[in-house]
Chains A and B, each alone.
Chain A
Amino acid sequence: MSTQLWALAVVGTVVLAAACLEVFRSRRARARTLGAVAEAAGEPYVLYFTGDGCTVCRTHQEPALEKLGPVRIDKVDAVAERELADRFNVYTLPTTVVMSPQGRALHVNYGYATAPKLQRQLDEARGALQVATA
Chain B
Amino acid sequence: MATQLVDHSALKVNQTGIIATVLVAFIGSAFYRPLLVLIPLLAIVLLVGTFAPQLALFKQLYFKVLKPRGIVKPRPVQDRPEPHNFAQGLGGVFLAVSSVLLITVPVLGLALALLVAVLAFVNLAFGYCVGCQIYFQLSKAGVIRAS
The reply to whether chain A is a binding partner of chain B is: yes
Binding site for B on A (CB under 8 A): 1, 3-4, 6-8, 10-11, 14-15, 51-56, 58-60, 77-79, 82, 85, 91-93, 111
CB of B55 within 8 A of chain A? Answer: no
- Chain A residues with CB below 8 A from B30, complex form: 1, 3-4
Interchain CB contact (< 8 A) of B107 among A10, A15, A55, A92 = A10
A8 and B106 alpha carbons, distance in the complex (Å): 12
A78 and B82 alpha carbons, distance in the complex (Å): 17
A92 and B133 alpha carbons, distance in the complex (Å): 6
CB of B146 within 8 A of chain A? Answer: yes
CB of B80 within 8 A of chain A? Answer: yes
Q: How far is the CB of A18 from chain B (nearest CB, A)?
A: 9
Binding site for A on B (CB under 8 A): 1-3, 8, 26-27, 29-30, 77-80, 82-84, 106-108, 110-111, 114-115, 118, 127-129, 132-133, 135-137, 139-140, 146
Q: Is A4 within 8 A of B29, CB to CB?
A: yes
Q: How far is the CB of A130 from chain B (nearest CB, A)?
A: 37
A58 and B82 alpha carbons, distance in the complex (Å): 16
A1-B30, A53-B139, A56-B127 in contact; A7/B80 too (CB < 8 A)?
Answer: no
Q: How far is the CB of A43 from chain B (nearest CB, A)?
A: 27
A1 and B114 alpha carbons, distance in the complex (Å): 15
Q: Is B146 within 8 A of A79, CB to CB?
A: yes
The list of the 10 closest CB pairs from A to B, nearest first, reads A52-B1, A7-B110, A53-B83, A10-B111, A7-B111, A6-B107, A11-B114, A79-B139, A1-B30, A53-B80
A4-B26, A59-B127, A79-B146 in contact; A53/B135 too (CB < 8 A)?
Answer: yes
- Chain B residues with CB below 8 A from A79, complex form: 136, 139-140, 146
Interchain CB contact (< 8 A) of B115 among A11, A53, A91, A92 = A11
- Chain A residues with CB below 8 A from B84, complex form: 55
A28 and B89 alpha carbons, distance in the complex (Å): 31
Give me 10 other A-B pairs in contact (C-beta within 8 A), A1-B30, A55-B77, A85-B140 excluded.
A3-B106, A4-B110, A7-B110, A14-B115, A15-B118, A51-B136, A51-B139, A59-B77, A60-B127, A79-B140
- Chain A residues with CB below 8 A from B139, complex form: 51, 53, 79
